[in-house]
Amino acid sequence: MIFEYDYKPVIEDFSKDGTLTMTAIVKIMENAANIHSDKVGDSVFNIRDLSRAWILTDWQIQIDEYPVYGDEVKTETWSEGVASPLVANRNFIFYKNGTACGIASTRWILLDLTTGRPSRIDSSSLEKYEPEDKTVFEDKKLTKIPVPETFENEIKIPVRKSDIDFNNHVHNLTYLDFAKEVLPDDDYNKNFRTLRISYKTALKEGSTAICRYAKVENQSVVFIFDDSLNQCCNVMFGE
């Protein structure tokens, strides 16, 4: 099943030049996925099964053209069939005025909330989504985020109560905002063409996000740690 989601951007979705921000684009795709899950009876607020939960681990995004203020935007999204016992994939096509302008792929695990370990994903877990044998990236392997030898800049951001979501940890999109804060000024408002996010360990309320930036092979790389220097999220922006 390919699920379509039409979205009317609001003023906070745009940068100063009237371009839709990368954060807004990711938010739109995230909401499309959530609404799709609601439609098939797999809502994140469904309390019938408290033993397992879908957890997002990765984003890979390519934006060929950014929408601007006044453009119509739409997202198509669908789940793939079981490709690995422990990993499920969801794909997206992003549209500007009816023309495809970006693609994305996400990776998910089904977490056993009792053990804290991934559960095996069988076909019955995905049947309700009517999976499609279709992907958006020819190479299904996710782009690796290089580990910098040294970092060029570091900032510390206290986690606010408003950063915490219904899962009692920092929301997925907030890590992207944290990562942008440590970028050089010239890069902060840049319309990056590619984005790669890998989630490691959740930041909790009362902790501090330690954001470290480096330039690696023309990629802007940000590693986010907690107070104990555990890796929480790695982000790579590409031009």
Secondary structure (H, E, C), the chain: CCEEEEECCCHHHECCCCEECHHHHHHHHHHHHHHHHHHCCCCCCCCCCCCEEEEEEEEEEEECCCCECCCCEEEEEEECCCCCCCCEEEEEEEEECCEEEEEEEEEEEEEECCCCEEECCCHHHCHHHCCCCCCCCCCCCCCCCCCCCCCCEEEEEECCHHHECCCCCECHHHHHHHHHHCCCHHHHCCCCCEEEEEECCCCCCCCEEEEEEEEECCEEEEEEECCCCCEEEEEEEEC
Q: Which of 145, 166, 167 is CA-nearest to residue 224?
A: 145
Are the CB atoms for 132 and 80 separated by under 8 Å? yes
Reading the block at residue 216, the tokens are 């690696």
- Residue 44 is predicted with a pLDDT of 66
Residue for token pair 């049947």: 127
Q: Which of 104, 106, 232, 109 is CA-nearest to residue 179?
A: 232
- Residue 48 is predicted with a pLDDT of 53
Q: What is the chain's pLDDT, residue by residue, as a tens digit (239 residues)?
A: 899 999 999 999 999 999 999 999 999 999 999 999 888 877 766 655 567 778 899 999 999 999 999 999 999 999 998 778 888 899 999 999 999 999 999 999 887 777 777 788 877 778 888 889 899 998 878 889 999 999 999 999 999 999 998 878 899 999 999 999 999 998 988 999 999 999 999 999 999 999 999 999 889 999 999 999 999 999 999 98
Separation of alpha carbons 214 and 220, rounded Å:
6
- Residue 46 is predicted with a pLDDT of 62
- Residue 167 is predicted with a pLDDT of 77
- Residue 81 is predicted with a pLDDT of 80
Separation of alpha carbons 91 and 103, rounded Å:
8
- Residue 118 is predicted with a pLDDT of 78
- Residue 97 is predicted with a pLDDT of 97
* C-alpha distance from residue 208 to each of 84, 95, 221 (Å): 34, 36, 19
Reading the block at residue 64, the tokens are 């060929």
